[in-house]
Chains A and B, each alone.
Chain A
Amino acid sequence: MLACLTNLLSNMQQSALIPHLFRTEYRKVIAVLCKRFGFDQIEIAEDIASDTFMSAAQTWPLQGIPESPVAWLYTVAKNKARNYLQRKTTFANKVIPETSNRNDTATLPDYEIDLSPQNINDSQLQMMFAICHPTIPPEAQIGLSLRILCGFGIEEIADAFLTNKETINKRLFRAKEKLREEKISIELPPAEALEGRLASVLTTIYLLFSEGYYSISNNKVFRKELCIEAMRLCYMLVENKYTNKPAVNALLSLMCFHASRFEARIGKNGEYVLYDEQDTTLWDTDLISKGAYYLNLSASGEQLSKYHLEAAIAYWNTQKDDTREKWENILQLYNRLLQIEYSPMAALNRTFALSKANGKQEAIIEAEKLQLTNNHFYFTLLGELYTGIDTHKARHHYEQALALAKTATDKQTIQRKIDGIGKPMC
């Protein structure tokens, strides 16, 4: 799994050392410091973590890059944290008079910060559950996850949401206020609450992934990093015995299958390449095998989550051959998925599968029942279903789709479909 992620990373632009370390180490330092200080002092934790990287940016160009840059960063972070804790204790001791019967030698203050791999991992997992607490609004969860769990810069986050730094800073500020108000502690939930809490963590991870996978942002590198980050967080849950549940494996499997088509589905000019038109040699076969591996691991326990169904659909989509078996399976998986959770996209995809499994005539009747008349995908589907059956209606539906489509790439795709109707059937 990690090899896959590393491969994906190595395909991306090589970034400079400090920004790269910021991305991989900031989140570790911040998780450990927050765990130690609590959300009450999250700003101080952020300041210490940021100052550490600032020191590196100032020192390294002059003194050269240290032999072990990560160890250097940890030492500096530890020193800064120790200084802060000492100052705080001194202040508290001066302001708050000591009670006469307090035994000082028994409670020697511990100023050390534990940046061992084990504590980093534990703190990050606990942080994941804290940020994804059900009382925190989804938007805030996403923002905090990007910043604290993934270590993205404010500018990158602003870019992903097509907004400015100020808006993101405000959003994060409110999210942190919420963490304090709700007095959320940084720890793993008790066993009886694990299932529900894990569900909100998985929702957020999937949102992060979708943000990268379906984003309207043109920054392909960042979008891919987002997908990788979501997969990394899910992988942490799989690696931990306590959180390694079937649904977690199903979600990881689903993301592996989707990510396998990342390169194939975005064209040279950033336009979406439709599934049927994708160059399958660009599909990442390593990720497809990983997807199958985690799908197998997910097949245990009693519960069939929506991730299981979506992963199974994604599996069938890695089978390029247009067999009856494939579409019948996809249809039944969508039938079940829609019973767990309705979404317009699932309804449209189900109807497409229906046309492949049961024929276009039945699918047209079913499609017209959906009445998703403000959705351009709805009219694209109808256009597709009527193509070869009623050219006039096909064109009419595609034109409605064209009128509703918002992005230039969507419009181009639909226009290509319209141009294709006139061609004689072969």
Chain B
Amino acid sequence: MKEYLLVYRTDFNNMPKPTAEEMQALSKRWMDWIGSIAAQNKLGNRGNRLEVSGKVIKSDGTITNGPYAEIKESIGGYSIVKAESYDAAIELAKGCPVLTVGGNVEVREISQVQ
């Protein structure tokens, strides 16, 4: 089994403000989805959610505030899953609720090199 990092990205600025019910339904979809991966014994680490705002330090030493002018989407969170191959990891990622709100999931194999 290899480990893959799933990075959830979405454009928070252009997302319609969800109602309380929609929020609750979305939150349940996330919990059911992570629960499904855990039930398959394929959850490496549930990871974390990230706050929307952030800072970027550039090579010239300047510090800027997020959200960022260059990229519209920002990282909302990440998890680590266990899978036999990229295909299998992608299969897991396909159920991610971020996809239902216009976001995307980046799948990256975690390097074995220490």
Contact = CB atoms under 8 A, between A and B. Distances in A.
A366 interface: yes
Interface residues of B, number: 12
B53 interface: no
A302 to B, nearest CB: 16
A281 interface: no
Chain A contact-residue range equals: 10 to 19
Contacts of A350: 35, 39
Main secondary structure of the interface of A (DSSP, over half): helix
Given A347-B41, A370-B40, A338 B35 contact: yes
B36 interface: yes
Main secondary structure of the interface of B (DSSP, over half): helix
B36 to A, nearest CB: 6
Interface in B31-70: 31-32, 34-36, 38-41, 43, 46
A331 interface: yes
A347 B39 contact: yes
B39 A332 contact: no
A370 B43 CA distance: 13
A359 to B, nearest CB: 12
Chain A CB within 10 Å, residue with most, of B35, B36, B40, B43: B35
A334 B32 CA distance: 10
A354 B32 CA distance: 9
A347 B34 contact: no
Contacts of A370: 39-40
B31 A338 contact: no
Contacts, number: 45
A338 B38 contact: yes
A260 interface: no
A366 B31 contact: no
B49 to A, nearest CB: 14
Nearest to A340: B38
A50 B84 CA distance: 57
A346 B39 CA distance: 8
A366 B34 contact: no
Chain B CB within 10 Å, residue with most, of A331, A335, A370: A335
A335 B34 contact: yes
Contacts of A335: 31-32, 34-35, 38
Contacts of B43: 338-339, 342
A342 B36 contact: no
25 contacts: A328-B28, A331-B32, A331-B35, A332-B28, A332-B31, A334-B35, A335-B31, A335-B38, A338-B38, A338-B39, A339-B34, A339-B43, A339-B46, A342-B38, A342-B39, A342-B43, A347-B38, A347-B39, A347-B41, A350-B35, A351-B39, A354-B32, A366-B36, A366-B39, A370-B39
Of all A-B residue pairs in the complex, the 4 with the closest CB atoms, nearest first, are A335-B35, A338-B38, A347-B39, A342-B41
Interface of A: 328, 331-332, 334-336, 338-339, 342, 346-347, 350-351, 354, 358, 366, 369-370
